[in-house]
């Protein structure tokens, strides 16, 4: 009963101008150590919200998250996040971006030389050793995402959370990154929760695919166990019957949801508004200041 990560009957309601908006309802998921989980669903269904609750960046209004039987109350490096837009500090070099995280997490447990070594090791892992001194502006989108992953891995997280890590990349770079991620995963055997829009990505990388229903009050619709042998190879899998079966399952689910979604356009807009709420509020604050100039 005591699983590694337990997302226990989580629900979240945001207050909006049009009254409270229930974005997630009764999300229930148990994750074992070393498992690779994908969250897939239509835009605005609350995938990112689930991830943010696990990360501690958002507080669930109902239920809660337990990691190794301890409740998650705030963000922390044991639940490292790889953000969709890499979120590297543009004024720090590749090395310093990772080193900042390493210094923060291993302040007391590692010596200076060890922290330097560990930073280099993690950048080596994502094949970025050649660009240690470059600034994020000077490297490509794929490289930035590699550094973002290195930074997260360097924290030695119990759970690695990835919010559409490859969503902003072109498809060729994305394939490279997926292969890299599989390699790293084979070596480190991290517990990973990844949000994706890409069906192939989900099937290729995951042990389980969590398909979410549409919001508001989104929840887990179906769970697909992907029992493909590892290491997985995308070329041979393209012809594989099981692979294509899993793929078809996910596509079917998404398609059904899409059709089912049509009549509730009003609700859909409301959910989108809810999901983007934080950003909108930030933008308004900013605008308030801008106006004041």
How do 19-31 and 5-16 pair as beta strands?
antiparallel
Q: How far apart are CA 151 and CA 99, in angstroms?
A: 8
Stretch that binds another protein, among 4-12, 34-42, 49-57, 115-123 (CB under 8 A): 49-57
> Rule CB under 8 A: is residue 195 a binding residue for another protein?
no
At 249, which helix (H) or strand (E)?
Answer: helix 241-261
Q: Candidates 26-34, 207-215, 251-259, 278-286 — which segment interacts with another protein by CB under 8 A?
A: 278-286
Q: Specify the stretch interacting with another protein by CB under 8 A; choose among 79-87, 113-121, 230-238, 260-268.
A: 79-87
Distance, in Å, from the CA atom of 61 to the CA atom of 58, rounded to the nearest integer, reads 9
- Which is closer to another protein, CB of 263 or CB of 288? 288
**Does position 53 bind another protein by CB under 8 A?**
no
Q: Pick between residue 76 and residue 221 the one whose CB is nearest to another protein.
A: 76
Q: Is 279 among the residues that bind another protein (CB under 8 A)? A: yes
Helix, strand, coil % over all residues of the chain, rounded to 5: 45, 20, 30
The whole-angstrom separation of Cα 191 and Cα 189 is 7
φ and ψ of 127, to 5 deg: 60, 45
Question: Is residue 135 near another protein by the rule CB under 8 A?
Answer: yes
User: Closest distance between another protein and the C-beta of residue 293, in Å?
Assistant: 6
CB of 263 to another protein, least distance (A): 34
Phi-psi region of 260 (alpha: psi -120 to 50; beta: other; left: phi over 0): alpha
Question: What burial class does residue 134 get, using C-beta atoms within 10 Å of its C-beta: 0-12 exposed, 13-18 middle, 19+ buried?
Answer: middle
Question: Does 59 participate in binding another protein (rule CB under 8 A)?
Answer: no
Strand 159-163 versus strand 81-82 pairing type: parallel
Q: Is 293 in the site for another protein (CB under 8 A)?
A: yes
Nearer to another protein, 103 or 179 (CB): 103
Tokens 């109902």: give the residue.
Answer: 62
Interaction of residue 188 with another protein, rule CB under 8 A: no
Quick one: 242 or 278, whose CB is closer to another protein? 278
Report d(CA 215, CA 15) in Å as an integer. Answer: 15
Cis amide leading into 282 (omega within 30): no
Residues in contact with another protein, shown as a per-residue x/- string from 80 to 119 under the rule CB under 8 A:
xx-x-x-x-xxxx-------xx--xx--------------
- Using CB under 8 A, list all residues that contact another protein: 55-57, 74-77, 79-81, 83, 85, 87, 89-92, 100-101, 104-105, 135, 137, 155, 278-279, 282, 285-286, 289-290, 292-293
């Amino acid at each position: 009963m005591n699983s590694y990560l337990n997302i226990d009957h989580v629900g979240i309601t945001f207050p909006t101008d049009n009254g409270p908006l229930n974005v997630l309802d009764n999300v229930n998921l148990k994750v074992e150590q070393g498992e690779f989980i994908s969250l897939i669903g239509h835009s605005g269904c609350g995938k990112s919200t689930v991830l943010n609750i696990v990360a501690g960046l958002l507080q669930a209004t109902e239920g809660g998250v337990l990691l190794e039987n301890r409740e998650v109350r705030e963000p922390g490096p044991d639940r490292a996040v790889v953000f969709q837009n890499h979120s590297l500090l543009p004024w720090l070099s590749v090395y310093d971006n990772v080193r900042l995280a390493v210094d923060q997490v291993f302040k007391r447990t590692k010596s200076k030389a060890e922290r330097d070594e560990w930073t280099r090791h993690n950048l080596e892992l994502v094949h970025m050793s050649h660009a240690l001194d470059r600034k994020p502006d000077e490297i490509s989108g794929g490289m930035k995402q590699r550094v973002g992953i290195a930074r997260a891995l360097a924290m030695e997280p119990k759970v690695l959370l990835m919010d559409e890590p490859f969503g902003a990349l072109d498809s060729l770079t994305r394939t490279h990154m997926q292969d890299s991620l599989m390699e790293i995963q084979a070596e480190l055997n991290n517990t990973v929760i990844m949000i994706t829009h890409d069906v192939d990505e989900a099937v290729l990388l995951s042990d389980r695919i969590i398909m979410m229903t549409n919001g508001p009050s989104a929840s887990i619709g179906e769970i697909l166990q992907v029992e493909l042998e590892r290491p997985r190879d995308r070329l041979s899998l393209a012809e594989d019957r099981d692979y294509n079966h899993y793929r078809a399952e996910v596509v079917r689910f998404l398609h059904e949801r899409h059709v089912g979604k049509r009549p509730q356009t009003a609700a859909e807009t409301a959910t989108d508004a809810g999901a983007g709420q934080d950003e909108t509020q930030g933008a308004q604050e900013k605008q308030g200041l801008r106006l004041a100039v």
